[in-house]
Structure 1
Amino acid sequence: LDTLIPLLRGAFTVGAAATFVRVYYFTLAGERVVARLRRNLFGSIINQDIAFFDKSRTGELINRLSADTAEMGKSFSGLTLSSGLRSTTQFVCALSIMLYLSPALTGVMVGVIPVGYIGARVYGKYVKTLSQEVQTALSKATAVAEERVGAVRTVRSFAHERREMKLYSMEVDNVFQLARRLGLVSATFFSSTTLAGNTALLGVLAYGAHLIRADLITAGTLTSFLLYTIYVGMSSVSMTSFYGEVMKGVGASTRVFELMDRIPHIDNVTGLTLQNLVGTVAFDNVSFRYPTRSELSIFDNLSFKVSPGSVLAVVGSSGSGKSTIASLLLRFYDPTKGRIVLDGTDIRDINPTWLRQQIGIVSQEPTLFAGTIAENILYGLDDETSDLFRDKYPNEVPPEVIHCAREANAHSFIMSFPDQYQTFVGEKGVSLSGGQKQRISIARALLKNPKILILDEATSALDAASEQLVQDALDRAVKNRTVIIIAHRLSTVKNADQIAVLDNGRIVEIGTHQDLMSRANSSYRQLMSIQLGISDSQLKQINMK
């Protein structure tokens, strides 16, 4: 005993060390796989074409990125895999020893294995399918929550909290019902396998007693065999649980890999880069239908040209497709017919990433990220330049940022904040006014220093005072750039070099403000008359003055 105790102590210490190594390294390997999976999945999502996002709900994509990958991580984690490996090894070793002790008793014991195997296959297939349904239902619930929380001000203004709670509860109930079915199936399967294993154990005990009476084995052999039978039973239960967890992960992985394997229709990384870009833009007989609304034609043989350094204003009634021009020029979509040309080159032959770096856009409702003002302005830079700025100005605001903020009439209100350029703007810039967000958006576009600038209803949602500040900033921003203004306000478009009137998917007339106002039955003059709320004759008199 004096010799045995130190040996056992050493064996237990080695066992504990082995357990530490097994758990730590298996867990580390599993988490690395999940982290790589999440990075690759996010990369696949962020590089999809815009048409994909038109038909996908943000909450569902977030669910795949979080819940589905978490389920995969749980199923294929180091602890799960190591437990499965340990149970399999234990099962094989114990079964081998049982076969050595008594082949006859082993035959009785393994008689239940085919039944368990068939049951496990059926159970695994059902769990895989049901797991996919659970993840789909959970993604719908996540989508509802994400959408309603993101629009909480609208929900609150209409006092629809109770309605949204009811809607979310319905989605959660769907998840619960599917989870209940999964729990029922799991309970049935595990209780059946437990019953089958115990029945096999009773069979071994009864047959073993018969073999003892026949002097074919000893009581000690039967006792040892029963102990190993318990090991086999415990291992079988662990292996079954492992198989069920793996099938859940496989169900979740189907949704993940489906998204990762999706190839975007517009490749963002291949194509030409133009040297010495001039900035000539032309739409050549462009026809277009949105992929999600293929029955509705937006453009039908649309053609126009913008010369380098000139300003084209596009006006038209609501829904005429004005903003779609910006989406096509940025190559968010490809035309169904015709082509869009930049300096004589079809933009489908140009590298989309390079193309978008040459185009700045200021939209009606600019999107700011939940960061500081300086970070949002710096977002206008490409990755390489941004890294250079970060290294050069690690603890201060780059002077280029301040210069662009001044040009955008934003510097004065930024400096009025206690934290100035380090002011946190909140999610989507919620802590700033519309005019302030718009001017930061202009500063961001100016820092990008694009050759082509798109102003998409940039002042339409502002009050008179904010509009004047933003308009002054825009007047400075358009200098020495090819500019496309999408607007309807007279004050915004009247000074453009050319004004194109868009109607029924085509340019119906084009010219200067004075030229269009002087034409008889001018569509442009009718739009201005409706906007100002005066008769055509009154508008004509004002224009003559």
Structure 2
Amino acid sequence: MGPIVDESDLPGYTMRSSLLLGARSLRSLAKPQQQDQNVLFSLYNSAPRHSRIEPPVCAHIVVSRPLQTSRRELSTSAIPPSSARPLSQLQFQRPQVLQQLRFLSSTPAKSETPTPVIKSERKQPKQEDNDDDEEESFQRSEKANQASQVNLSARLSKEGSANSGGAGFGEVWRLIKIARPEAKILGIAFVFLLISSSITMSIPFSIGKILDIATQGGQKTEDLQSDEGSPMLFGFSIGTFYLALGSVLAVGAAANYGRIIILRIVGERIVARLRSKLFRQTFVQNAEFFDANRVGDLISRLSSDTIIVGKSITQNLSDGLRAFVSGAAGFSLMAWVSVKLTGVLALMFPPVAVAAFLYGRAIRNLSRRIQKNLGTLTKIAEERLGNVRTSQAFAGEILEVHRYNTQVRKIFDLGKKESLISATFFSSTGFMGNMTILALLYIGGGMVSHGTITIGELTSFLMYTAYAGSSLFGLSSFYSELMKGVGAASRLFELQDRQPTISPTAGKPVTSARGTIRFENVSFAYPTRPAVSIFKNLDFEIPQGSNVAVVGPSGGGKSTIASLLLRFYGPTEGKILIAGEDVSTLNVKQLRRRIGVVSQEPVLFSGTIAENIAYGRPHATRSEILRAARRANCSFIGDFPDGLDTPVGARGTQLSGGQKQRIAIARALVKEPDILILDEATSALDAESETLVNQALTTLLRGSNTTISIAHRLSTIKRSDTIICLGSDGRVAEMGSYKELSSKKDGAFSKLMEWQMSGGDSTNERSHAAQARNNPTPTETEEIEYMLHSGEGEHDDVREGDEEIQGSKIQETVTEAVEQKKK
């Protein structure tokens, strides 16, 4: 049954719903345009009470009572919110809309009776204060906009370093130089190429002479007879000549075999060397690089791009040289047979050369686009298959298959376009070649009838023409494949040329990391978000051999301390000292060998338990691995039939969470580190697993190493000698023992513990849920604030072309409300 509409309230309802519909539309716009939402807050809060209604949750709302209607009594139509563009991109004037909204909120409608404020009385602010608040909200929003900007300067281009221009000689030469280490063996292959090509090009000449002997075509063949009148060819009898020709062809076949096998082996060697070099170059990059680049794209560069490059500079280069040698020899022999016919054939060269150039350029661009989309496809497959359980848990199989198929379709369309271009090029050049042959037959036939050339010579010329035409097409294919190789190589060169900002091998040697750890006025922001400061003049000291717990609010930078100690990143200001040495001057690889890390989500690699424990120390003996496993309380290993040789599966899927965590502890222990970092090592475990892990940690903390625990659990915090409590401003809020900090009832640590013990949650949903329980009938201001805040992150993915439609709808709605109020 439809909702009841109070007709007497329709005029006022129309005006109010139009105002709030405008607010709803502005709220659905992209998140960076927070200044518009802040203006709406001030407009709504300053509007008279009678001009406000409960916030709508979709596009159409009808109420039976104007103000007292609760959220449950709202009648809504299930219209999904439309996608939107940022407000600055919409096709209407934002200042005009905001001015109209201010007009709507300035005076009451004549047809309505003011209604008293429910729950809390809000004083009407002065206009000057309103303007100040509005200006302040705009300033805050501008800072938020700057903070939301992401710096992706470390991201690799999807189309390579040369995607903006054509392939120059330098880029092609750099591609060929990849094969420089194989120059000697490639030289042998080139000698085989010359032998096989020379033998091949001798066949038309021999066939022409044999035809002349068979037809006895006039005076031209008299020199082919011996004094006794028996036919001779090159001083040999016909039988001897055939036997010699067969032997020569066998030598050509052997040379061709040697050329092919050498090039295939060299090609595989080049691909293997490229992959090894690029994988090593990728592995030494800093954390900033992996923050900005997807793993799938890197895998695509290491796999498919290297194959294309290897083929381009071995097999394709050999085919190109073969075509060049055969073509040059063919044209020389054609000119020797008949200059006139060679001139006729030369007329087809200019159009074919132009077509080959255009074809190669189009193929190069398509190759780059195909490789880019292949990288995206690999990224999708790697990401989705790596999280297949999550997709299955949310019944997202159809969605993920559709996403994958969409990318496959893009690659298919590009491949189809490449096929169309290739078919057009080769069919048109083939047609031109056939027409040229027809012209040669017409002109050559006349020359034979006039005795200018013999039938054998015409036959040899036509065969050379076929060889030369094949060579010309071979050069066209060589050029197109070379351009494909250039397109793939540009992606490899971009990765190869990138140098890490923190060199893993430079710096002073590190034999020990024992000593006092000091953060001295450290300021830091992640490179991908430089406007968001994590630390501001952070200053604290950790004595050697102490057990320190780092606590603080979520996002306060606790794990960032570990990243800075491991030199995944460098501080923007200040210094980090270990035993008085600035870590920025130390050898990174040697420093990391002296630091052990146990993370919240332990990462295990495919292999056995022993291999994963020894990962922290590859040359560890069997007894050292067993001792580390016992110290980490890994007694479950004895329950497996293969013991330490039990496979853990991909990412440790054959083990439970607690088992993986204890193996990770054993991996850190086998290193015998000077500094041990425990990054919330028990936060994701059940009670039984946590007890076993805590027993292992208790044993661990008895050592002489310095331990830094990043913790939420009270049990972990109590075990610590010193607690460093970080504040939300990026500085140390409090520092001391558990007894000292817990005795300060108004201190930051006590408040944090009180919040955690009460089961608090930092998410907005929990906060508003708790507020709703305490206040079942929220004020209208709370309603509109909740509506705007909850929709802050909606509609990040927008559809093209919706901005003009939505902008016009918002302006029409607000304009109608203004006209209604004027009436």
1:234-245 paired onto structure 2 within 5 Å: 234-245=470-481
Cα pair 2:745 2:751 within 8 Å, conserved: no
Cα pair 2:551 2:710 within 8 Å, conserved: yes
Match of 1:39 among 271, 276, 284: 276
1:341-352 paired onto structure 2 within 5 Å: 341-352=577-588
1:463 maps to a residue whose letter is D
Q: Report the counterpart of residue 675 of structure 2 in structure 1.
A: 452
Match of 1:322 among 544, 548, 558: 558
Give the TM-score of the pair, scaled to structure 1: 0.92
1:205-284 paired onto structure 2 within 5 Å: 205-212=441-448, 215-284=451-520
CA distance in 1, matches of 2:643, 2:631: 17
Aligned pairs, number: 521
Q: Report the counterpart of residue 139 of structure 1 in structure 2.
A: 375
Q: Report the counterpart of residue 395 of structure 1 in structure 2.
A: none
1:177 maps to 2:413: yes
Match of 1:469 among 692, 699, 702: 692
Which range is displaced more, 113-122 or 269-278?
A: 269-278
Q: Report the counterpart of residue 393 of structure 2 in structure 1.
A: 157
CA RMSD of aligned residues (A): 1.7
CA distance in 2, matches of 1:249, 1:56: 23
1:488 maps to 2:706: no
CA distance in 2, matches of 1:72, 1:192: 28
Q: Report the counterpart of residue 61 of structure 1 in structure 2.
A: 298
1:365-388 deviation line (CA, Å, top 9, x unaligned)? 010001100000010115xx35xx
| Residue aligned with 2:523, SS | strand
Q: Report the counterpart of residue 727 of structure 2 in structure 1.
A: 503
Q: Report the counterpart of residue 81 of structure 1 in structure 2.
A: 317
Cα pair 1:272 1:349 within 8 Å, conserved: yes
Q: Report the counterpart of residue 408 of structure 1 in structure 2.
A: 632
Shift of 1:183: 1.1
Q: Report the counterpart of residue 392 of structure 1 in structure 2.
A: none
1:365-421 deviation line (CA, Å, top 9, x unaligned)? 010001100000010115xx35xx4xxxxxxxx0000000000000x2001011111
Match of 1:514 among 739, 746, 758: 739
1:86-105 paired onto structure 2 within 5 Å: 86-105=322-341
1:157-194 deviation line (CA, Å, top 9, x unaligned)? 11100000011111111111111111111111111211
1:299 maps to 2:535: yes
| Residue aligned with 1:444, SS | helix
1:112 maps to a residue whose letter is M
Shift of 1:312: 1.3
Cα pair 2:511 2:590 within 8 Å, conserved: no
Shift of 1:278: 2.3
Greater radius of gyration (CA): 2
| Residue aligned with 2:426, SS | helix
1:233 maps to a residue whose letter is G
Cα pair 1:31 1:77 within 8 Å, conserved: no
2:752 maps to a residue whose letter is L
1:115-134 paired onto structure 2 within 5 Å: 115-134=351-370
CA distance in 1, matches of 2:340, 2:536: 83
1:407 maps to a residue whose letter is R
Shift of 1:71: 1.8
The alpha-carbon distance between structure 1 residues 209 and 11, as it changes in their structure 2 partners (threshold 3 A), is closer
Shift of 1:4: 3.8
Q: Report the counterpart of residue 574 of structure 2 in structure 1.
A: 338
Cα pair 1:127 1:244 within 8 Å, conserved: yes
Q: Report the counterpart of residue 307 of structure 2 in structure 1.
A: 70
CA distance in 2, matches of 1:205, 1:142: 53
| Residue aligned with 2:382, SS | helix
Match of 2:662 among 439, 456, 460: 439
1:299-335 deviation line (CA, Å, top 9, x unaligned)? 1111111110011110011111111111111000111
Match of 2:752 among 507, 527, 530: 527
2:700 maps to a residue whose letter is A
Cα pair 1:59 1:140 within 8 Å, conserved: yes
CA distance in 2, matches of 1:418, 1:155: 33
Give the TM-score of the pair, scaled to structure 2: 0.62
1:2-54 deviation line (CA, Å, top 9, x unaligned)? 53454344323322321221111111112111111111111111111110000
Cα pair 1:26 1:81 within 8 Å, conserved: no
CA distance in 2, matches of 1:73, 1:457: 46
CA distance in 1, matches of 2:383, 2:572: 31
Q: Report the counterpart of residue 546 of structure 2 in structure 1.
A: 310
1:335-387 deviation line (CA, Å, top 9, x unaligned)? 111111111111111011011111100000010001100000010115xx35x
Cα pair 1:376 1:444 within 8 Å, conserved: yes
2:591 maps to a residue whose letter is L
Match of 1:424 among 640, 643, 647: 647
CA distance in 2, matches of 1:465, 1:254: 53
Unmatched tracts of structure 2, length 5 or more:
1-237, 761-823
Higher relative contact order (CA closer than 8 Å, sequence separation 6+): 2
Unmatched tracts of structure 1, length 5 or more:
390-397, 536-545
CA distance in 1, matches of 2:449, 2:747: 113
2:667 maps to a residue whose letter is R
1:210-268 deviation line (CA, Å, top 9, x unaligned)? 44455543444323211211111122122222222221111111111111111111111
